[in-house]
Structure 1
Amino acid sequence: MPKLAKLSFTGVDSSGEYPKVVPWQPKRSGDYSQDCAAGRAYYAELLDLMRQENNPTFLCRVLSAQVKGGVWDAVEIGFTQAMAERLVA
């Protein structure tokens, strides 16, 4: 299984002939603060993987999956806030 699939916010679609990574399948508590914190943690996980693998394309896959998911809520807000903070640091 690809390394991206091992992150806590991803999933695996096994419905077809071959399993596929679902790059954005976050757990949501329904509590805004908790979900923002989870989103921040998800970004930190992804950043660590991108650095370990020297592969920034993981971010493109996750962002694309977020857009396709059609949800902009606390998890996504926390994720992008953490990303923005790292970009300007």
Structure 2
Amino acid sequence: MKFDQLTFVGTDTSGDFPKPLPWNPKRTGNYSEDCAAGREYFRELHQLMLISENPTFLLRVLSAQVQGGTWGGVEIGFSQAMSEKIFLA
């Protein structure tokens, strides 16, 4: 699996070459569903980081979340799953 194949990563095709959008989640507007999606997004990212032995993918996603300026159910679910992984590690 590659970073740009994660379900929450989009593609910016506005330039000469496509580039990944590190945080482009699907949102339903339903808090519970969005939290569940965010948890799944973190699980995907965590698996990729383990397989690739590349923890810097997390930095790309967190930076994009901050730049996006939205703190909703998807981000909360993502952060909750990440904190549980850290706490239980």
TM-score w.r.t. length of structure 1: 0.96
Count of residues in correspondence between the two structures: 88
Partner of 1:39: 38
Unaligned runs of 5+ in 1: none
Please tell me whether residue 18 in structure 1 is matched to residue 17 in structure 2: yes
Distance 2:17 2:50 in 1: 28
Q: Deviations 1:55-78 (Å, cap 9, x if unpaired)?
A: 000000000000000000000000
Partner of 1:82: 81
Partner of 1:73: 72
Two-structure CA RMSD over aligned residues (Å): 1.0
Task: Determine what percentage of the aligned residue pairs are the same residue.
Answer: 59
List 4+ stretches of structure 1 deviating above 3 A: none
Unaligned runs of 5+ in 2: none
